[in-house]
Amino acid sequence: VVPYIHDRKQFGQSIGEFQLIQGKVADMYTVLQAARAYCYTVGKNLDALGTEHVRQVRKDCASVILWCAEKATWMAGEGIQIFGGNGYINDYPLGRLWRDAKLYEIGAGTSEIRRMLIGRELFAETM
């Protein structure tokens, strides 16, 4: 996305100079960094906890997959918005990235199933 916003010109300037585009890119960067940190933290915690803490492991894995998958789909959608009509043509990978990201929300359990699993584990913790 960043190289594109330098190259794409509208109204005599690169679209990266527009505040709305800068805001979208800033939001995408922030979400990417948060997703990385979340994923690495859960991975580190899983290594430390081990299999004896199955409930915690199950809840955290479902949670990180749920959040990262939905944010990946959102980020691909934001990229398509930035690219405009070019986001839909095969000259750029954004359409494929969106489809790939959406598959993470569906494959190996839908977002709704992950939410159900997280809710069930949280409910069981309070009993």
Segment 67-117, tens digit of pLDDT: 999 999 999 999 999 999 888 888 889 999 999 999 999 987 899 999 999
Residues 24-54: pLDDT tens digits?
999 999 999 999 999 999 999 989 987 778 7
- Can you tell me which residue has the tokens 């290594």? 47
pTM value is 0.87
Residue 89 has what pLDDT?
87
What's the count of helices (H) and strands (E) in the chain, helices before strands? 5, 2
Cβ-contact 14, 7 below 8 angstroms = yes
CATH architecture of 12-125: Up-down Bundle (1.20)
> If you average pLDDT over residues 18-27, what whole number do you get?
97
- Degrees, nearest 5: CA angle 75-80-84: 150
Classify 112 as helix, strand or coil: helix
